[in-house]
Amino acid sequence: MSDFSTEFRMPKGCPNCGSHMMKVSQAKSPDDQVFCTSCNTEVCSWEEAERILDETPRSEAEQLIEDVMNNKKPPEEDY
Residues near Zn ion (CB under 5 A) are 14, 16-17, 19, 36, 38-39, 41
Residue placing its CB nearer to Zn ion in the complex, 38 or 45: 38
Residue placing its CB nearer to Zn ion in the complex, 42 or 62: 42
Q: Using CA atoms in the order 53, 10, 44, 18, what is the torsion angle rounded to 10 degrees?
A: -150
53 alpha-carbon distance from chain centroid? 8
Q: Specify the long-range contacts of residues 27-31, CB closer than 8 Å, at least 24 apart.
A: 27/2
Minimum CB distance to Zn ion, residue 48 (Å): 16
8 beta partners: 22
Minimum CB distance to Zn ion, residue 30 (Å): 22
Residue placing its CB nearer to Zn ion in the complex, 15 or 30: 15
